[in-house]
Structure formats: C-alpha cells, structure tokens
Structure 1
C-alpha cells in the first residue's frame, strides 16, 4: 500500500514539474536568441560602475538580446536583466524600448510600459506578456547576462 502511494506521489510530482515559466510562454513576438556577455560587464569599468550602486541601470546595445538588454541593480545581490523589445508588439522600429528611471517604454502609438525591476506590465499597457527576462550571474565585479 505504501509503495503504491509513493508511486502515485512521485508521478504527480513529475507531472507537475515544468521547465516553462512566464518568460517562456511561446510569445510569438520575441524569438529566443542565445547570447552571453561573458566578462564584458565589469563594474570596475566607468561605463558599468553605476551598477555598484542600488537603483541604477545600464543598457547594453543590440549586440545582446534582440534590441538590447537592460540590467537593473536593486541592491544587495538583486540584479535583473530584460530584453528591450516590447513583448506585446511585432518587432519593428517602434517596438524597441527606451528606459527612463525604472520604466521601459515602447515608442509605438500605444506607449506600452514595463517595470525593469520585475518586468511587469504597467497600467495602460495593452497585451498579456511581461518583459522577457534573461539570466544574471554575478562573479565579484563581473555581471554576466546570458540566454541559452
């Protein structure tokens, strides 16, 4: 009896585990691209030094991600990195996001906007998708951002 219960629980756990999350939700607008900044983002370099201080961000050009990547440092060990393409528009010139403070906004007529700390949709944004999150790894003064 215990063995049957164990097998049922194991099966339920296995079925309930999934690799997908909100950022891998088959968004037709954001293709999955592979990139790795490696040791490019070094906070000892002047262009990245603001990432040593909480509530600052850096934008990486479009050599990373699709239209670039924003890295935000919230303090402590809390870094986030997101794609700078509006996830609720087909890729176009206006779907590239501009960052001001903690809000990334598209240049299309609807002005969709997103929080760069969490990636969440801001009020008034049309569409269902949050920003595409990328992986962040901190190794001393190096901040590695990647997607595989």
Structure 2
C-alpha cells in the first residue's frame, strides 16, 4: 500500500503547484514590460513611504506602463501595482487616481475601483485585478521589478 501512496502523493503535489503568472498572462489589456526601479527612502519625495498605510505613485518613463502604485503595508511589507486600469486598454485616461487605499478609473465611461493593498477590484466591470509587480526592501531602498 505504501508503494502506491508515495507516487500518488507526488502526482498530487505536482498538479497542485500553480503559478500566479497565469493571472498576469491572461490580462489582454496590460502589455508586459520589463523594468527595475529603485527608490531611496531617504529622499524627501518618498518620505511618506516610511510610514505604514501610505502610498506613492511613481510615474517616471520606463517604470511600468503608466507608472507604479507603491503602498507601505507595515514598514516590512510593501505592495507595488501597475498604475494602468487592468480592465481597459491603455490610453490617455487609463492611469488610475489613488486616494487613500483605493485607486479609481479616470475614463468617463468606467467606474472601476481597486484596493491598492491587495490589488482586488472592489467596484466596476471587467474582473481583472491590478497587475502586481515584485517589490523588495533592503535597508532604506525599495526595488520594484517586473
């Protein structure tokens, strides 16, 4: 019996391992961009990111599609998401507006609202969450990559 159980367990483990890349690849609206961007928390423009529950929107060219929303969860955990509304094609109005922990659409015919802590859509149509980027803190430096 134990000879049968081990292979069955291995097959189960292999099948149950899934990648979160599927959610990223299946979004037809946001093109994949490769970038690495570092933020020095000692610089005055990033001061708010030293305190939990604060966010900053980075809109430098080459950082994301429209930019990146950075949120300080608890000084050790941060989230980073694409600034583009994930449920519409990038356009002049597709950059989200961040207020508190919510990011909302700027396009006239769209009422999409997202939570910037976890990226989930909390209002509107489409169903895609915000596109998440990897973020790491090392001392007073945040590094965001895709």
TM-score, structure 1 length as denominator?
0.90
TM superposition shift of 1:58:
1.1
**How many pairs were matched up?**
144
- Which residue of 2 is the match for residue 85 of structure 1? 84
RMSD: 1.5
The question of whether the paired residues in 2 share the 8 Å contact of 1:137 and 1:145 is answered with: yes
TM superposition shift of 1:25:
5.0
The question of whether the paired residues in 2 share the 8 Å contact of 1:23 and 1:131 is answered with: no
The question of whether the paired residues in 2 share the 8 Å contact of 1:27 and 1:129 is answered with: yes
- Which residue of 1 is the match for residue 102 of structure 2? 103
The question of whether the paired residues in 1 share the 8 Å contact of 2:51 and 2:75 is answered with: no
List, as ranges, runs of 4+ consecutive aligned residues in structure 1 with deviation greater than 4 Å: none
Instruction: Determine whether 1:94 maps to 2:93.
Output: yes
Residue range with higher mean Cα deviation, 13-22 or 61-70: 13-22
- Which residue of 1 is the match for residue 26 of structure 2? 26
- Which residue of 2 is the match for residue 9 of structure 1? 9
Q: Which consecutive residues of structure 1, in runs of 5 or more, have no partner in the other structure?
A: none
Question: Of 49, 52, 61, which aligns to 1:51?
Answer: 49
After superposition, the C-alpha distances for 1:94-147 in whole angstroms (9 at most, x for unaligned) are 211111222111111222111111111123x11111101111111010011111
Change (3 A) 1:23 1:134: farther
The question of whether the paired residues in 2 share the 8 Å contact of 1:120 and 1:130 is answered with: yes
User: Matches of 1:36 and 1:99 in 2, distance apart?
Assistant: 22
TM superposition shift of 1:64:
0.6
Instruction: Determine whether 1:112 maps to 2:112.
Output: yes
Q: Which consecutive residues of structure 2, in runs of 5 or more, have no partner in the other structure?
A: none
SS in 1 for 2:6: helix
